[in-house]
Amino acid sequence: MDKLLEDFLIYVDTSNSGSEHTKESYYRDIHRFMEYLNSEGVTDVKDTDRYVVMGYVSHLRTSQFNGKTLSSRSIARNLSSLRSFFKYLTMMKITDSNPFASVSISVPKNRLPDYLFEDEVDTLLKCFDLNDDLGYRNRALFETMYGCGLRVSEAADLKIEDIDFADRVIRVVGKGSKARIVPFYQIISDLLEKYIRNIRARYVSDDCPYVFVNRNGKKLTTRGIEYLLDKTVRDNGLPFKLHPHTLRHSFATHLLDAGVDLRVVQELLGHSNLSTTQIYTHITTEHLRDAYDKAFNENNAD
C-alpha cells in the first residue's frame, strides 16, 4: 500500500503541479487511512468497501490525533484526499470503483476567520529578541508574513531571488503555482536585509535558495513555522489564540479597515475569486458595528 501512495504522490506532482503543502496533506491523510486499514486487518485497498469507509469516518470523528479531535473541516479534507486517491486507483484500474465518491460530511459555512487587532500584532512582534540570531529571524519571518499576507507555505517557500529590495516587492508563488507581486514596507526591508546579510549567512551554504532557515541551515518547514509561533504565544503568555493564517487574515482585515479597495486586497492575497476575499468585509462590518454600538451606548449613558 505504501507503494501505491508513493505512486499517487508522483502522479500529483507531475500532473497537477500540486504545492508541497498539498502533497504533505495528501500523504498525511492517506497514510492515516492506511494505518487504520492495518489496524482493522485489511491488507489490500481493493477490500475497501462502504462498511470500511463508514467505520473510518466514525474513527475520524471519535479519535484524537496529536491530543486533539478533528474538526469537521479537517475530516472533510481527509475524505477529499481519499476521494482523490481512490479516483487515481480507479483510473489506474487498481480498484473497480471509488468507495469515497459519495461520502461527505456537513461543514459549517461562512465561518469568519480569526484576526488580530493592530495593537495585538504589535504585541506579538515585540516578543522577539532582536539581539538574538533566531529571535531576529523570527521577527523578520512573522513581520513578513503579516506585512505581505503570506500563507505559511508561501513563507516557507520564499527564496532570496524572490525579493526585490530596490522596488520593495516580493514575488510570491501561491496555490496552483500562481505567482503574484506583493509590496512590503520599510521595516520589513530593514529586517530582511540585516537578517540575510548578517544572520542567515552564518547558518546556510551558498546552494540553499530559501530565505528562512533553521539553525542547521535548512529550509524552515510549515510545521516548523507553526511550532515557532505557538511557542512564542506560550512562552510570552499572550492572551490570544494564534495560527500562522491568523496573520494573513489580519493583513486583509487591516487593509480593508484602512479603505483599500476589495479587488486590490484580492490581488494581494492571490485569491482567484472575489467571493473568497469578500468574507473579510463581514469582519470589518462587525468591527464598525461594535465601534458604533460602543459610541452610542457611552453617549446614552451620559
Positions marked active-site = 151, 175, 245, 248, 271, 280
Sign of CA dihedral 208, 211, 215, 218: negative
Please tell me the total number of residues recorded for the chain in this structure: 302
State the CB neighbour count (10 A cutoff) for residue 119. 8
Of 265, 268, 229, nearest to 245 (Cα)?
229
Q: How far apart, in Å, do the first and last CA atoms of the chain sit? A: 72
* Angle, alpha carbons 84-226-57 (nearest 5°): 35
| 301 to 129, 200, 294, 295, 297: CA distances (angstroms) | 44, 56, 11, 10, 6
* Strand, coil or helix: 173: strand
Q: HSE (CB half, 13 Å, CA atoms) of 48?
A: 27
Q: HSE (CB half, 13 Å, CA atoms) of 227?
A: 7
Give all strands (DSSP E) within 118-246, no chain letters.
163-164, 169-173, 179-183
Backbone angles phi, psi at 210, to 5 degrees: -85, 145
